[in-house]
Structure 1
């Protein structure tokens, strides 16, 4: 690709015209993680965090965020999502806990949902942080990245596991 698709002939930002693209089934999966103290992790797992059920609230926040992506990422197209699923994997050692987040987003449309999946995963992690910060201000979020996407002109993508990450 010789030119940037998000710039017009004057070099100014533009939203890409997708009117000629075909509608296809599309999906994307993004992941992130939140590393925290064992104390905070244990309280999340036991449902003892003062602000409520951390994972339930984070899951709803992630779904809401996916639906609002075009309102916060300037060049994203508003999309009609057909599905958003948030999954958690909780791991602990003697010293720390790790909450892994996987966000899967689906649509039938003219453009992909990678940004919606990344937004969902990110807001999920931010919500976990917000709800647990009174217990652990040293939490670490990330890395955050797309693991796969399907559909569209560029075809399917599956991240090479040797690239590292969560």
Structure 2
């Protein structure tokens, strides 16, 4: 899994929660929207040890009928979830979108990640772009881990989270 996929996973999660979101810097041409949209970017990634020599334990794979070893690191990802809205939508549209986003991230969050912090700036109007804008950051925690078969061959890298209530 690469960082582009992690960004896409966050954008897909927000879309599934009824929040218009797309990855920042898309390869496609930007489309003007009638309401607020979140531009999803990855601003920072920090990793640390998840266990002794990065060993996290074992799990039993039902499909193969074999035990698999898990190796990985704890990661903290800082997402940019900046909100943009046209003049017709206004600052109230930005606030409504932020409220929906905060509730969605607080309630569940994207698969494999748990929310640690959510912060935002003030809503401002960008004269040049003709859009309202609010900077938003979400700090999420998860684990980046690899699965190894019994022979020690790594099978895949996956991001997983831990849910704390």
- The interval holding the TM-score normalised by the smaller chain is 0.3 to 0.5
TM-score w.r.t. length of structure 2: 0.34
Structure richer in helix, relative to its length: 1
Q: Which has the larger radius of gyration?
A: 2
Structure richer in strand, relative to its length: 2
Which structure ranks higher in relative contact order (CA pairs < 8 Å, sequence separation ≥ 6)? 1
